[in-house]
Amino acid sequence: MPQLPLKREFAFTIMDVARLIKTYADQRARQFGISRAQWAVLIRIERTEGLKQSELAEMLDLQPISLTRLLDRLADNGLIERRADPNDRRANRLYLKPAAKPLLEQLAALGTDMMGTVLKGLDESTIERMLKELGRVKSNLRTAIQNNSTQQQAANG
């Protein structure tokens, strides 16, 4: 088998790891009757209660209609509530209901267990180094996206 270019292999490996983590999280979250996507929504709302639906859609890179379906399910299960934004009658703000707290505690324990499995055999210094380097990659991507967007705007405007 021919040796693939290292930089291209890096991109493929990152995408494969992300896909596998998503699959594993979906499998594990099912025991609580939720999906990985619903789990991600709950975590974001927990971190930033009172955020707008539109802000959450942007954070999670979801289309508003997809997020609305997730929020509907979570609201139907008594885990979140939408409250009208006092400053914008078109917007809703999102809050956790008391029933979400025990589930979030269980999901936190599940996340710790999952990442123990995912990072098995890696020591703390390796994990810290990987996070630092992936942070650099993430920053490079954000800069490239911003520069590309700016160039496109200049070309169109």
Q: What is the 3-state secondary structure (H, E, C) of 93-105?
A: EEEECCCHHHHHH
In the prediction, which pLDDT does 80 show? Answer: 97
- Asked if 98 and 105 touch (Cβ cutoff 8 Å), the reply is no
Residue 11 structure tokens: 């991109």
Q: Which residue has the tokens 């890179």?
A: 61
Domain ranges (residues) in the chain: 16-120, 121-157
User: Which value, to the nearest 10 degrees, does the dihedral of the CA atoms of residues 81, 85, 86, 88 take?
Assistant: -160
Q: Spell out the long-range contacts of 57-62 with Cβ–Cβ below 8 A and sequence spacing 24 or more.
A: 62/37
Residue 121 has pLDDT above 70, yes or no: yes
Residue 74 has pLDDT above 60, yes or no: yes
In the prediction, which pLDDT does 79 show? Answer: 97
Is residue 156 very low, low, confident or very high in pLDDT (cuts 50, 70, 90)? confident
Q: Give this prediction's pTM.
A: 0.79
Per-residue pLDDT tens digits for 1-53:
566 688 889 999 999 999 999 999 999 999 999 999 999 999 999 999 999 99
Per-residue pLDDT tens digits for 63-73:
989 999 999 99
In the prediction, which pLDDT does 3 show? Answer: 67
The fold adopted by the segment(s) 16-120 is: Arc Repressor Mutant, subunit A (1.10.10)
Per-residue pLDDT tens digits for 81-119:
999 988 888 889 999 999 999 999 999 999 999 999 999
